[in-house]
Homo-oligomer: A and B are copies of this chain.
Amino acid sequence: MTEAVAPRKGRPRSADADVAILAATRAALAELGWGGVTMGDVAVRAGVAKTTLYRRWPSKNELVVDAVAVLFDELEMADLGSLRADIESVVRQFADLLARPESQAALLALFAEASRDPALRRRVREAIIHPQKRLVHQGRAAAQARGELAPDASPEAADADVDIIFDTIAGTVEHRMLVSGECADPEWISRFTTLLLTPLTALPQNPAGSV
């Protein structure tokens, strides 16, 4: 029981407002891009006073993280029976997500802000990075259960493997779509999956087998 439900006094915060504000933020983001999002504008779209925004989020940055974070909740690692299928599936989901204008406008800007604001970085990590890393853990465990991957040598090695795979998948897809500005069509996804799969399934005696 995390929330002791402390029956606080005074008028409770409107739950509707939260929903309306986050939706308005995403809408503004998709329409105007990061720089175009204005607290005043979001407030108007949400039918809410600017003060209400500031009462709940200390600044534009944290608001946008929260507004965008939910988009990542839809990512999931479905066990499709093979490591290749699982990887292709999650890459495709991520590519689809990055094809949406609100993600596109938000993600890099968010990372940019986070790179010099420790509090925001922490929030981004909790709301976005960690949930995504979980997917890699799941896929890896499933592949181990199927015998496609060797069992963990040690917890530390497992974490290092997850980290490098996660950074490779996330970084590469983001770079292709948001920086190089090219799409991630099925063909590219297949090629990229092969690139990932080859070292993962390489002979275990290869010292790099555990990447």
Contacts and interface: CB of A to CB of B under 8 A. Distances in A.
Contact of A167 (B180, B196, B208): B180
Copies, count: 4
Interface in A170-211: 170-176, 178-182, 188, 191-192, 194-199, 202, 206, 208, 211
A194 B208 contact: yes
Contacts of A63: none
Among all A-B residue pairs, the 5 with the closest Cβ atoms: A171-B175, A194-B208, A171-B171, A198-B199, A33-B116
23 contacts: A34-B116, A104-B115, A105-B115, A108-B108, A109-B115, A163-B176, A164-B172, A164-B188, A167-B176, A168-B175, A168-B192, A170-B171, A171-B171, A171-B175, A171-B176, A171-B179, A191-B211, A195-B196, A195-B208, A198-B199, A198-B202, A198-B208, A199-B199
